[in-house]
Amino acid sequence: MLSESSPARPSPEAALALHQRLLDGDPVASSDLAGAYLDWLATWLTHVNPHDEPHMCNTAAEDAILGLIKRPEAYNPAKLGLEAYLRMAAKRDLQNLRSRERRHSQHRADLAAVELSPRAGKYLSDADEDPARIVERREEDMANATELAPRLEAARDGLSDEEAAALELLRQGKRETPPYAAALGITHLPLAEQRRQVKRVKDKLKKRLERAGGPHG
């Protein structure tokens, strides 16, 4: 599999020489480093992190290679082999990417959840309103859990079990079709039909939430 036997990777001695060429400013060394290690590193990272998106593993491998090209002095060959160093660097870069991705996902979920706020209509229709401020206000609103709970309860009244499950997904800020399709039990339908039905249910639930919020929200 991953290739301790990969033909492209240099021997430890050749790796040392390659690192020295990077230090010396050899203009071809960066290309040789990428050519020798990028594919191996990305493949290894994808293999040991099967739950991460492959493109994230590729990016992390790129980051590790570029990091060494930009700062070859950061690597001390007396302490670690070049492959071990690159693996460590790539793992760290993948962790950083995950953290960044989590922050973005959270931000997206917050923005989506703003739609549930009874004040959202006002915020979103205000052209001068800063989206970050919208999220901030929504967080202030949500800090008081007692405010949302009765509305959810009221909105849930009369819903089928499937629709109630979809309401819970909406509350969590989920946007993608598949979890809703699963909750509604329509995954056997063609994708376009799933999307249509999910949209219809989401619209219905949002309207119920708005109504449950009352005129003063």
Partner 1 sequence: MADRLEALARRVQSDPAFLAAALADYAHSEGLDERGLAAALGCLPGQLSRLRLCRRPRDEPTGQLRRDVEQIAARFGVRADVLAEAVRRSNALAALRRAGEPERGTLMAARDREDDVAPADNPSGEP
Q: How many residues bind partner 1 (CB under 8 A)?
A: 20
Would you count residue 65 as binding partner 1 (CB under 8 A)? Answer: yes
Q: Using CB under 8 A, which of 9, 16, 34, 98 touches partner 1?
A: 34
Nearer to partner 1, 28 or 145 (CB): 28
Evaluate whether 52 touches 44 at the Cβ level (below 8 Å).
Answer: no
| Residue 58 interacts with partner 1 (CB under 8 A): yes or no | yes
- In this chain, which of 1, 5, 7, 27 binds partner 1, going by CB under 8 A? 27
The three-class DSSP label of residue 128 is: coil
Backbone φ and ψ of 4, nearest 5°: -60, -20
Measured from the CB atom, the residue of 62 and 115 that comes closer to partner 1 is 62
Residues sharing a CB contact under 8 Å with residue 16, sequence separation 6 or more, in sequence order: 77, 82
Contact between 57 and 15 under an 8 Å Cβ cutoff? The reply is no
The type of residue at 180 is Y
* Closest separation in Å from C-beta 39 to partner 1: 4
For residue 157, which amino acid is it?
A: D
Q: Can residue 23 be called a binding residue for partner 1 (CB under 8 A)? A: no
How far is residue 127's CA from residue 47's CA, in Å, rounded to a whole number? 47
Tell me which residues touch partner 1 (CB under 8 A): 8, 25-31, 34-35, 38-39, 42, 58, 61-62, 65-66, 69-70
